[in-house]
Chain A
């Protein structure tokens, strides 16, 4: 990436104004709504994972924290939204969403305070371990979580009291898109702020950031908590769309897959988080249909291909191609 391209993104000399291509994901998403009304269920799933990947991009892409336990927050959000819907009279989706965001942010803050004292592989192990403990906890507390049978009986009222979640998933899709839009705006502001720039600095060279007097640890804890809160929102959406929470939201699979999706798309560039999940889930959907039993092979080869030819992810690949075309 050239200096111009980089500075066009963020930083003190950067440009914060919006460029046309930043609207593309949303235009495509809206186009998708009209063009493929039969695929809105897959569409919602993609939007939710985009949100999840976006939250991961904040810590992994901008903060440089490699985590294999991000499902801890997806799961916390999913269960808290589920608890509110199942055990309290509150069935308003927005309130459930906010509850999930707060709870996941809090869990992120508490675990972040511990995890971020360490570095490298130790961080990976600690994130893994915390997610595993939460999974065990949810399994043990089957009286309230439903254990492996899942938490059901979740009441979700129509959004704003008007728009009901329907069989075709139209409301759900637009709702997810709305939440994603808000989260994207927040993340974008954050990334362009001095805080975001300092995160990039920490990722590139933490000891340098110490030397200029930045409170590196607390910056990371803050980023981690915000990321957790956004992941919690993704979890809440999952709950509200399905009106059911399964134990698998806390499992290793979402943690691992979201990392794969994000790296596939490209880390630290916001839009990699949009592209990665879209490609991964569409591929998964298509391959699982063609060869229901062996889609791993396709995904695996696809990943090796990307690692081999596009180490900066699909976004990196695209900008390379774009540059070549742009300057013959």
Chain B
């Protein structure tokens, strides 16, 4: 027995879990970061979309036996489409409203959503039946890793890359960046911000749904989901700096790994570490790691 290699094995294992947890947080939160940054909308109800994604995945898998990749896509698409209706019908009205109104509005939305979720799905968490090819373990360099967690990590990085391409290299992305930087300016140079907002909102909600579905195996879809995990999403967004694209990625990795390692080494401090770290980080950089410092 070699204590050093034992420790290394433990750390690799923990780090792996930390990263996969981080990817779930990232995919859910990145949409919130963009909508908050661009529209300045304090959307506390972001978790509703993540929950919806999880439920859609669960229904697709359990009730209709739809293959897993299609079910993921269905979660993204259905929630995106539904969110367009919400954005046009409800959110758009509160773009100019103050922070407080937006807080109240989104809390109202959370209440309605969790009540509906409870009526439809009951009080228990929805079961997620993963396909066999995502179950079990994969051996890499002598370590066993759970296949699904590996999938989550790969998927998360792929999403991050795809988003980076979409925002940095496309015309749509250029518009989004312009609108995040300066909404009035974007409008004055002829960008249809109304449509841009709707599209971005749909993308952001769709990402949340995708993250909710991807993470459903860990953060089980249950009716009180939007309130239960709200704080974590907010932490990722605020530490990352809202309006930023890579901010949430780095913040999620930081929080995912720090949280996991912290719990491994100092389990007695429970949830302290993550909050203390958040306070420390925000005092050091009040606008988050990648937030606009104005």
Contacts and interface: CB of A to CB of B under 8 A. Distances in A.
Contact of A66 (B90, B100, B118): B100
A190 interface: no
A125 B103 contact: no
B270 interface: yes
Given A121-B36, A132-B231, A303-B108, A263 B272 contact: no
Contacts of B109: 300, 304
B275 A136 contact: yes
12 contacts: A125-B278, A126-B279, A130-B275, A133-B272, A136-B275, A256-B107, A263-B101, A294-B118, A297-B115, A303-B105, A304-B112, A311-B97
Given A121-B42, A129-B282, A132-B271, 16 more contacts: A66-B100, A114-B283, A125-B238, A126-B279, A128-B234, A129-B235, A129-B278, A130-B279, A132-B231, A133-B275, A140-B270, A259-B103, A296-B111, A297-B115, A304-B112, A307-B94
A264 B101 CA distance: 9
Interface string B265-294: 000001110011011001100111000000
Interface of B: 36, 42, 90, 93-94, 97, 99-101, 103-105, 107-116, 118-119, 227, 231, 234-235, 238, 242, 270-272, 275-276, 278-279, 282-283, 286-288
B104 A136 contact: no
Interface residues of A, number: 41
B107 to A, nearest CB: 6
Nearest to B231: A128
A264 B278 CA distance: 30
A118 B103 contact: no
B108 A122 contact: no
B31 to A, nearest CB: 16
Nearest to B115: A297
Given A122-B282, A307-B105, A294 B275 contact: no
Contact of B270 (A118, A136, A311): A136
Contact of A307 (B101, B116, B288): B101
Contacts of B288: 122
A5 to B, nearest CB: 19
A118 to B, nearest CB: 4
Contacts of A156: none
Residue among A125, A136, A256, A299 with most chain B CB within 10 A: A125
Interface in A200-215: none
Nearest to B223: A296
A284 to B, nearest CB: 11
A133 B104 CA distance: 25
A33 interface: no
A60 interface: yes
B276 A133 contact: yes
B108 A300 contact: yes
Contact of A117 (B100, B101, B270, B283): B283
Contacts of B94: 307
A320 interface: no
Nearest to A303: B108
A119 interface: yes
Contacts of A120: 99
